[in-house]
Amino acid sequence: RVYVLVVIIILVKMAQVVFALLAVFLVSLCTGQDFCPKEKCPHFCFCCVQDFEVRLYGATDWITTKLDSTRIRDYLAANSRLKTYVKRQAEAGFEIPDDCWPVLVTVTEGEGDPKMSVSWFVPSGGKKGEIYDPLVKLETKPEATIYVRVFGGAPSTETGQENTKTLREALAKTGKTFDPSTHAAATYESYFSFTHHNEIWISAASQQQN
């Protein structure tokens, strides 16, 4: 009986090691960014209520590419284009880190299908080149007041839509005026991470979240 117990313990330990190695392998497959801690985000939160936060963001730089659909393969393809762009910039002697927060998916609704894009944050102080790429653009978002809803769990189209709806309803209930056609989803971890901090961003009225 003791022998059987020892064998069972050894098998359990081996299974734990295999699981841990598999998890590391899956994380390494992610073509997105490695992320800085949320605490380093350059914003000031001056009002936090039950369903949302009100944040003031300074002007920020981003690299952006088109997102063809919400399917995971198109999302990974868009991140791969941004990663390739960053590598080309580095080869030309320009510095755009690929380890900064967050991946931002922006959705603009209107007639027909919504327009979507994926953006990576470019921290201030980096050397930004002018290498032309028809699929990637370097843009500056102006200072803005952003309404933010935070939620956990693996990000998906469904959870994004649910939390966007919840945020819009909360803003309307509290009398906030906001951009009704555009919202953005911010993720701070690899899709394969065990924990997730996700956010929905909606600009205050008369501001653009391009």
Read off the pTM: 0.71
Average pLDDT over residues 177-183: 93
> How far does Cα 97 stand from its chain's mean position?
15
Q: What is the mean pLDDT of the chain?
A: 76
- Ordered by where they begin, the domains of the chain are 44-204 (3.20.80.10)
pLDDT in tens, 82-101: 888 888 888 777 777 666 66
Q: Which amino acid is at 1?
A: R
Beta strands in the chain (DSSP E): 43-48, 53-57, 60-66, 103-108, 115-122, 136-141, 144-151, 182-187, 198-203
pLDDT band at residue 40 under the 50/70/90 scheme: very low
Of 163, 133, 161, 134, residue with least CA distance to 147:
163
More confident residue, 58 or 116: 116
Strands, E, within 67-175: which ranges? Answer: 103-108, 115-122, 136-141, 144-151
In this structure, what DSSP letter does residue 38 have?
G
Q: Looking at residues 170-196, what average pLDDT do you find?
A: 87
pLDDT at 53 over 70: yes
For residue 19, pLDDT beyond 50? no
